[in-house]
Amino acid sequence: MARRFRSTALVVFLAVAAAACSSGGDDPVDEPTPTESAAPTVEPDPDPTETEPEDPFAIPDEIDEAYVESVMNELFRIRTEVIRRSVEANGQAVLPEDVGELIGASHSGPLRTRTIEDAQEILQATNVDEIFLAPEEMGEERFDLFTVVAADADCLVVTGLPDSGEVNRAGSNTTLYSVYALSRSDAASETNRTPWLLHDESQLFEGGSNDPAAPELVADLELDELRALIDDTCGGAV
């Protein structure tokens, strides 16, 4: 059936072509070809599987040591920037506005006051180059977490060892075991990516960093200073 259809169509085509050739006269006028309109552009639907990247500093349902350590190191990164800019401003009479903003974005309560005083001392120091590395040489302060003493959505109390080896010219001071209390921030900022502020700090004791029992000793301490920090920041919750 298909073969017969093609043959018939061929005969009709040849007959029409012969008639056109023998008719003579003016050349036939080509009929205008309808213009093809462009197909409308269809935007692809957004991929339903694409989601916003997770905020690494959003407070989890269960606060663990990994989360706390990442928060502390982010806050210590800002602390380093406070020191760096204060060293750069050494000799000035007034604390630069940007240093004050950094402190305000990362500190609260007693530790905010002490950090402002520390920055002002750096401005006035005559031997700042003997204490700190040059600003362009500085790395970042770090915090080695030992224990999470108290943790909820409004406060953190932690013990650990600050490491200023990449900031101080004398290198790391590995003997100052400290406790830090953190309070919740009222609002997020571009400067401080965490919802936390360094609220207070107290040195626990001095000991050798190579003592394998040191973290356990810090964890078992029951000091009035530690209790006071918990009461002040967390309302006594442990």
Convert the pLDDT of each residue in 215-237 to its tens digit: 555 555 555 666 666 777 676 54
Going by pLDDT thresholds of 50, 70 and 90, the confidence category of residue 9 is: very low
Cβ–Cβ < 8 Å for 109, 199: yes
Interatomic CA distance for residues 185 and 151, integer angstroms:
15
pLDDT confidence of residue 1: 46
Paired tokens of 29: 């006028």
Paired tokens of 230: 């918990």
**Residue 73 domain-assigned (yes or no):** yes
Query: For residue range 136-187, what is the model confidence (pLDDT) as tens digits?
Result: 999 999 999 988 888 989 999 998 888 888 999 887 665 577 889 999 987 7
The structure tokens 């001392």 sit at 121
CA R_g for the chain: 37
**Residue 161 domain-assigned (yes or no):** yes
**Residue 189 domain-assigned (yes or no):** yes
**Residue 101 domain-assigned (yes or no):** yes
- Tally of domains in the chain: 1
**Residue 72 domain-assigned (yes or no):** yes
In angstroms, the Cα distances linking 155 to 11, 58, 76, 92, 135 are 93, 14, 17, 36, 33
The structure tokens 């080509």 sit at 30
The sign of the torsion formed by the CA atoms of 58, 64, 66, 68 equals positive
Bridge partners for 168 per DSSP: 132
Interatomic CA distance for residues 152 and 194, integer angstroms:
15
Query: For residue range 28-87, what is the model confidence (pLDDT) as tens digits?
Result: 555 555 555 555 666 666 555 566 678 899 999 999 999 999 999 999 999 999 999 999
CA angle, 53 then 64 then 224, to 5°: 135
Nearest to 76 by CA among 10, 137, 166, 157: 166
Q: Taking residues 5-18, report their average pLDDT.
A: 39
CA angle, 159 then 194 then 164, to 5°: 45
> pTM for the complete prediction?
0.70
Interatomic CA distance for residues 120 and 83, integer angstroms:
10
Interatomic CA distance for residues 78 and 75, integer angstroms:
5
Q: Dump the DSSP string for 190-206.
A: SS--SSEEEEEEEEEEE
pLDDT for 130 beyond 90: yes
Write out the residue range of the structural domain in which residue 178 sits. 65-234
> How many residues belong to the chain?
238
Interatomic CA distance for residues 176 and 207, integer angstroms:
7
Interatomic CA distance for residues 104 and 81, integer angstroms:
13
Which CATH number characterizes residue 94's domain?
Answer: 3.10.450
pLDDT confidence of residue 205: 61
**Residue 127 domain-assigned (yes or no):** yes
**Residue 45 domain-assigned (yes or no):** no
pLDDT confidence of residue 231: 74
Going by pLDDT thresholds of 50, 70 and 90, the confidence category of residue 2 is: very low
Going by pLDDT thresholds of 50, 70 and 90, the confidence category of residue 10 is: very low
**Residue 153 domain-assigned (yes or no):** yes
